[in-house]
Amino acid sequence: MMGQLPWREVLSAGLGAAVTDTIFNPLAMITVRLQVDRERRLYCSLRQCGARILAEDGLARLWTPGLVATWLRAFSQTGLRLGLYPKVKQAYARTGIGDGLAAKIASGATTGAVGSAIANPFDLARVKLQGESGLVVSGVYITGLCTGRAPSHAHTLAVFSDTLRSEGARGLWRGASASMCRASLLSAGQLATYDQSKQLAVRAGWVEGPRTHLACSCLSGLMAQVACMPADVVKTRVQSGQHTQVYRSPAHCLLVILREEGPLALYRGFSAAAARQVPVMAVQMPIVEQIRVRVFGLTYM
C-alpha cells in the first residue's frame, strides 16, 4: 500500500520521541505506579506519588527506571506511528475517503496500531521495570510496591530473556491487544487533532512554524489522553505482571475494573498521564517537525 518504508520520516519521529521521552520519563514512571497500585496502598495522587518516590528512592530512581526500554519504544512505536502517518493518509485519500478529518482519524489509528504491535516487547519491559522499581538493599526492595521481594529483572534485556524462558515468545506480547487499542486511540486523537488544528490555523492566517506547532501540539496532547486513558489503565494492569491472579485477559481486566472499582477507575492516574502527555506532545511535535526539515530535508507533516 505504501511502497518503500519512509526511513527518514520514521527516524525523525523516533529521534524526537526519544529526546522528549527522556525529559518526561519521571512522569511516565509516576503514571505506571499509580495505575499498578490498584489498592492505593502507597500512592494516591500525582504529587504524593512523585514526592514519595523522590524521598525514598532519590532522583536517579525517579528518572532512570525503564529508560532504555523507553528509547527502544520511541524509535519503534512512535517512530512508526508518526513516520508512517503522511503515507498512510495519502493511501486512505486514494481509496475515496478523501483527506478530511475521517482520513486523519483512520490514519492515526492505523499507524498507532502498527507501531504498538511491533513495539509491545519494549513497552512490556518499560512497564515491568517502572512498576516494580525501588531501592534495593541486600538483594531485596526496601521501597516501592514490591517491598520485601527480590527484583524480578536486572535490566531491559533481562526482561526479554526472563520472559522468553518463563512464558515463551508469546509472553513478550502480553497485553498486546490492549496496547494496540490504547495506541490506536492515542494516535487517532493526537494526529487527527494536530493535523486538523494546524490546517485550520494556517487557513486562519497563522504562519506554519514552531509557534503554530506548539499550540496545536498542546491541544492534541489533551485529546489524545482523553481518548486513550481507559485502554492505558487496562494495558498497564495487564503488562505489569503484578495482578496475574486477577486478570486473565485485557477484556477480563476491563470487566473486573468496572465491577470492583467503578468506571472512574479507568481514569485513575489521569492527572499524571495528562500532566505528562500534554507537555510531551508540546515538546515532541515541534522537535519532530524541526528534525524533519533541518536534519532530513523533509517538509512539515
Q: What is the pLDDT of residues 16-67, one digit of tens each?
A: 999 999 999 998 999 899 888 877 789 988 899 999 999 999 999 999 999 9
Residue type present at position 171: G
Place of cell 490492549: 178
- Quote the number of domains for the chain: 1
Q: Give dist(CA 196, CA 234) in Å, integer.
A: 29
Classify residue 113: in a domain, yes or no: yes
45 burial (CB, 10 Å; 0-12 / 13-18 / 19+) is middle
Pick the residue with more confidence: 239 or 259?
A: 259
Classify residue 53: in a domain, yes or no: no
Q: What is the pLDDT of residue 80?
A: 96
Residues 226, 200, 23, 105, Cα dihedral to 10°: 50
Longest pairwise C-alpha distance within the chain = 63
Instruction: Provide the CB-side half-sphere exposure for 52 (13 A, CA).
Output: 18
- Report the DSSP beta bridge partners of residue 141: 136
Averaged pLDDT, 175-196: 93
Q: Give dist(CA 48, CA 35) in Å, integer.
A: 14
Based on C-alpha coordinates, what's the Rg of the chain?
19
The pTM score is 0.84
Classify residue 263: in a domain, yes or no: yes
Classify residue 57: in a domain, yes or no: no
Instruction: Measure the N-to-C terminal CA separation of the chain; round to a whole number of Å.
Output: 19
Classify residue 203: in a domain, yes or no: yes
Q: What is the pLDDT of residue 243?
A: 58
Q: Give dist(CA 258, CA 252) in Å, integer.
A: 10
Classify residue 300: in a domain, yes or no: no
128 vs 28, 123, 158, 178, CA distance in Å? 12, 9, 11, 16
Residue type present at position 16: G
CB atoms within 10 A of CB 62: 20
Classify residue 45: in a domain, yes or no: no
Classify residue 261: in a domain, yes or no: yes
266 vs 220, 228, 263, CA distance in Å? 20, 10, 6
Averaged pLDDT, 280-294: 95
Q: Is the pLDDT assigned to residue 2 strictly greater than 50? A: no
Closest CA to 181 of 112, 121, 118: 112
Per-residue model confidence as pLDDT tens digits over 132-153 = 999 999 999 999 999 999 999 9
Q: Give dist(CA 282, CA 276) in Å, integer.
A: 10
CATH classification of the domain holding 289: 1.50.40.10
Closest CA to 240 of 145, 134, 170, 150: 145
Residues 258, 187, 272, 43, Cα dihedral to 10°: 40
**Domain span including residue 76:** 7-22+69-129+154-295
Coil, strand or helix: which one is 39?
coil
